[in-house]
Amino acid sequence: MSARFAEKEFQEMVRLNPCWSSYTCFAEIVRSRKLSKRVIKRYFEKVVDGKDYSKTDKSQIINFLYELSSSSA
């Protein structure tokens, strides 16, 4: 599987799960891929709604997502 983030896959996840937050949809995509911290940060800022997380926790959230991605098979 490609290490690039698939925006179309994200949009499909949002469409299929209308009750999920943008963060939850993003985390599900990240979980299924091995992504660099740079890619995660870039797309986190691009696709995750700012109302879905506390700005003061942003770096911790990105670190968690990176660990989530790194642990994916």
Q: Splitting the chain (73 residues) into consecutive groups of 10 residues, what average pLDDT does each group show?
A: 70 96 95 89 94 94 95 63
Q: What is the DSSP string of 48-64?
A: S-GGGS-GGGHHHHHHH
Whether residue 1 is contained in a domain is answered as no
Identify whether 51 is part of a domain. yes
Q: What is the pLDDT of residue 72?
A: 60
Who contacts 15 (Cβ-Cβ below 8 Å, separation ≥6)? Answer: none
- Does residue 2 form part of some domain? no
For residue 39, give the amino acid letter: V
18 within a domain of the structure (yes/no)? yes
Quick count: other Cβ atoms within 10 Å of Cβ 5? 20
Domain housing 20: 7-70
Q: Is residue 57 part of a domain?
A: yes
Contact 65, 27 (CB under 8 A): yes
Does residue 29 sit within a domain? yes
How many structural domains does the chain have?
1
